[in-house]
Chain A
Amino acid sequence: MSLIERDSLLFHGADWDFGTIQRIFDAVEAIGVGELGLDVYPNQIEVITAEQMLDAYASIGMPLFYKHWSFGKRFAMHESSYRQGLMGLAYEIVINSNPCISYIMEENTATMQTLVIAHAAFGHNHFFKNNYLFKEWTDADGILDYLDFAKGYITRCEERYGHAAVERVLDAAHALMSHGVHRYPRKKKPDLRSEERRERERHLHQEQTFNDLWRTVPTKGASAKPALSDERRRALLELPQENILYFLEKSAPRLQPWQREILRIVRQIAQYFYPQRQTKVMNEGCATYTHYRIMTRLHETGQISDGAFLEFLQSHTNVTRQPEFDDPHYGGINPYALGFGMMQDIERICTVPTDEDRDWFPDIAGRGDAMGVLRDVWANYRDESFISQYLSPHLIRQWRMFHLVDDPDRPELKIEAIHDERGYRRLRRSLSRHYDVGWSDPDIQVIDVDLAGDRRLILHHHVLNRTLLHKDDAQRVLQMVANLWGYAVVLKEVEPATGAIFQEHVAHPHETLF
């Protein structure tokens, strides 16, 4: 009997080879797809070294990326803290592409490889393929091709226009990256595949139709156009516009075509990463919950040994640890812990609900099919809506959450809500707001510009909770906006309710830069 049990193990000890990985993968797939009903992109698993992992860190995890000094800086930073032992490396990196690429480190033990495959190749993969935000905003089929195009394009620009010129545009674009995304679907989906063709065709057309004679043709005197109404003028420029990079790409009067293309590339990449920022808790929760289920099942069916299971539990509990607020290790709410906790809580509500759960979650309490509910949750929510919908009083009590308000006008901090009947909803609402990217990023919009007049670009920051922008940084970024725009730029920090202006920043372009 014991002999048979031994034979059912996927691996013995910590060592692994490619055959082991294949066996592990098949076993994990059998549970993930067969029992949990996950729906995943085809997987591609790549074994890499620590140095390659550091490389991947430096370029935001993507296998290929254009060159920029900031990635070199990140690499140097990670490398030196890794060498000093201040930082461990992640066990894996997973890329939202089709096929879904997961990097696994060569020094992981066989148990860790099992965990990583369950976590990345099934958990994250399922989330990428099914969550509505990823479906809406990212093109998993085309992203690697697009990055390849971007890398090649920027390299060609560097050859043609010089490193310094390209670097200045990239610096500015990176500074505006968080304000370079569309937050609402537009008429047309971005079609990343055609980017390369589109750019090449346009360039070819320009070269073919180039005729130096046009330069010598005398131009007409400025025709007296009828003055547009302010309203109409703004409408033509699609103002107000919160996607600053988009606005600059389309409307900045003095940019070269290649500079616009670079802004576009950075904008597309920012847009690709936008869903990840909004689904940290859910994405990690989904992956953690999936690996926990799969590993437990592997252990139950005797495919991994008790020792391996304990090794797994140790790293699992490390990842899902949530220190309390007065703990010296406290560094904010751990998305792994919150996501995993909530998903386990949903499982509990579905299978063994209490009366309280029936009150709070009538449509899922006691439904039994926990995986069905979770798959629906993973597909249709993001962090903010997920928390505001599914954070249960049970979990709030378990975590003993409380809400602390720091108002500079008051001499002391105030406890606004705790884990009691009066506090549950308020706690849930404020926590979910923390995860709303639209709320946590400063709301900055392009309000107006008179292209026929002085072309002064007016931006507004709609101040929330009287928190102004970091002054030094704002001035630097504004300078970059001015350089791209080519004319003066003013940023007003406005209280949206009253229209009162707290502060104004002004920047004039450096004529020599562009």
Chain B
Amino acid sequence: MYIIDRRLNPGGKSLANRQRFIRRAKAQIQRAVRQTAGDRDITDLERGGEVSIPADGVREPSFRRSGEGGVHDHILPGNKRFVEGDTVDRPPGGGGGGSGGGDNGEGADDFRFVLTRDEFLDLFLDDLELPDLAKRRVATVETQGVRRAGYTVTGSPVNLALLRSMRNSLSRRIAMRRPKPAELLRLQEEIALLEQENGSPERLAELRRELEELQLRTKRFPYIDPIDLRYRRFEPVSKPVAQAVMFCLMDVSGSMTEHMKDLAKRFYMLLYIFLTRRYKHVEIVFIRHTHEAKEVDEETFFNSPETGGTVVSSALREMQRIVAERYSPDSWNIYAAQASDGDNSPNDGSTSATLLRDEILPVCQYYAYLEVGSDSDRMQTGFINHKTSLWQTYETLQGQSANLAMRKVNHRREIYPVFRELFRRRDAEAGARAP
């Protein structure tokens, strides 16, 4: 009999099967993922989780008898009062005598299962081609760090590489034929034995000479020598700063409808995922504003209504304050996304523009302005090409700084393309500038 411990075998034996399954049901799973994504919080989106798809799409059909029609008979245990020839009313479910019948086929129920975080995101971002874009586009701030780089013969004692030093020592001892302690011990014992038994003096003298020679050799070649010592070497490298903060700015004045907020939320979600794939640590700051701005939590940001005028510069000022207080541009990658319907109080235009140009844009990696419109707006813009006051303000800045982007979105389905375009445009520009 053999006992084999398989517990340490590499896991994920069914991974290939799982990939095949997901590929098979991709269209349905993707639909389910999109649907789930709509119901979730921004930060929650990253977690993967259970989705359910209609069982029909992954059905494995076989020739089997249908449950209906035809004569069915059942042998059942636990008879209490029936005698032969009795008749029983058909139970309302249609099954045979409460037995559940013999139909073991798959029902038409949904098929539920759990996607991992990576699978979930891959499917969610599948048509966005985000990962590739991200690599090329994001400018990363660098910081100095150190990393291991081989061994050196000099160094401080804390960096002594013990294993490597002992290995060198061992090979040197072997190469120099340094006598082993066991060898010395054997000789000494033999000498002691001879002395005790008064063995032949020549032999004794020979052994003593041999012992002396070996002891001399032992002294000459020390067990460990400075030449053996090795130290771990470190070299300085520059590492990208792996943290980012994302500012979500939104106008919550009465003119922003639920539809507009939904558009904004979707955009923030995408940006958040995009950033978390690039940076180890991403924080989100929500700033909402009417005629005055306030930092709030996510729930309040999207859901609680507010009334008042619209002064964009208040939000920018708030952001500036938070940056100064908590997020030093030296160690944080700062991203900002502003969503608004484009209204701004007439005398605030130049203040906002100056603030943005002189204070905000220099510290930001990227500033995205998303103008959300209602669904019915689209016709209008097509004909009249009406420009909102905020749009006009920002338009002047766009030419001056490369890290400001602005887009207009009216419908949910435009979010993905717009997002993609925002992150692609830079890329194309960079390509054009390079030669």
Q: Which positions in A face B, CB cutoff 8 Å?
A: 18, 21-22, 25, 29, 42-49, 51-52, 54-55, 58-59, 67-73, 75-77, 79-80, 83, 99, 103, 106, 121, 163, 167, 171, 174-179, 322-327, 330-333, 399-408, 411-420, 422-423, 427, 430-431, 434, 442, 444, 461, 463, 465-474, 476-477
Contact = CB atoms under 8 A, between A and B. Distances in A.
B70 A467 contact: yes
Among A43, A176, A416, max chain B CB count under 10 A is at: A416
Interface hub of B64, B98, B111 (most chain A Cβ within 10 A): B64
Contacts of B88: 404, 412-415
Interface in B55-100: 58-67, 69-80, 82-90, 96-100
26 contacts: A22-B1, A71-B14, A73-B111, A75-B18, A76-B18, A77-B113, A79-B114, A163-B20, A178-B63, A325-B97, A327-B78, A330-B100, A404-B97, A405-B71, A406-B72, A406-B74, A412-B89, A414-B88, A415-B82, A415-B84, A415-B85, A420-B84, A442-B64, A466-B69, A467-B69, A477-B63
A327 B17 CA distance: 38
Contacts of A99: 2
A45 B2 CA distance: 6
A45 B3 contact: yes
Given A76-B114, A400-B79, A417 B1 contact: no
Contacts of A176: 62-63
A418 B75 CA distance: 10
A80 B53 CA distance: 14
Contact of B98 (A75, A178, A325, A402): A325
B71 A466 contact: yes
A333 B76 CA distance: 7
B175 interface: no
Contacts of A59: 14, 17
B85 A414 contact: yes
Interface string B1-44: 11111110101011011111111110000000000000000000
Contact of B17 (A47, A68, A411): A68
Contacts of B85: 414-415
Nearest to A428: B75
Nearest to B88: A413
Chain A interface, DSSP helix/strand/loop, else mixed:
mixed
Interface string B274-302: 00000000000000000000000000000
Given A72-B17, A404-B96, A468-B65, 20 more contacts: A25-B3, A52-B7, A54-B14, A55-B14, A67-B20, A69-B24, A70-B60, A71-B17, A167-B24, A174-B60, A399-B77, A399-B78, A401-B75, A430-B73, A430-B75, A444-B63, A466-B69, A467-B71, A470-B65, A476-B61
B112 interface: yes
A55 B13 contact: yes
Contact of A49 (B7, B18, B25): B7
A434 B75 contact: yes
Query: Which of B62, B69, B98, B99 lies at the interface centre, i.e. has the most chain A CB atoms within 10 A of its CB?
Result: B62
B75 A80 contact: no
A412 B1 contact: no
B105 interface: yes
Nearest to B76: A325
B50 interface: yes
Nearest to B80: A400
B360 to A, nearest CB: 46
Interface of B: 1-7, 9, 11, 13-14, 16-25, 50, 58-67, 69-80, 82-90, 96-100, 102, 105, 111-114
A58 B98 contact: no
A331 B74 CA distance: 12
Contacts of B67: 470
B17 A402 contact: no
Given A175-B60, A430-B73, A430-B75, A25 B84 contact: no
Nearest to B114: A80
A383 to B, nearest CB: 13
Contacts of A45: 1-4
A415 B24 contact: no
B134 to A, nearest CB: 28
The 3 closest A-B pairs by CB, nearest first: A324-B78, A467-B70, A72-B21
Contacts of B64: 442, 469-470, 473
Contacts of A25: 1, 3
Contacts of B113: 76-77, 79-80
Contacts of B66: 467-471
Nearest to A25: B1
Nearest to B96: A406
Contact of A413 (B1, B77, B90): B90
Given A401-B76, A413-B90, A473-B64, A422 B84 contact: yes
Nearest to A105: B7
A68 B7 CA distance: 24
A417 B75 CA distance: 9
Contacts of B79: 400-402, 418-419
Nearest to A42: B1
B413 to A, nearest CB: 29
A55 B16 CA distance: 11
Contacts of B50: 80
A58 B12 CA distance: 12
A469 B84 CA distance: 31
Nearest to B78: A324
A16 B73 CA distance: 48
A52 B11 contact: yes
A427 B77 contact: no
A324 B78 CA distance: 5
B14 A417 contact: no
A401 B85 CA distance: 15
Contacts of B78: 323-327, 399-400
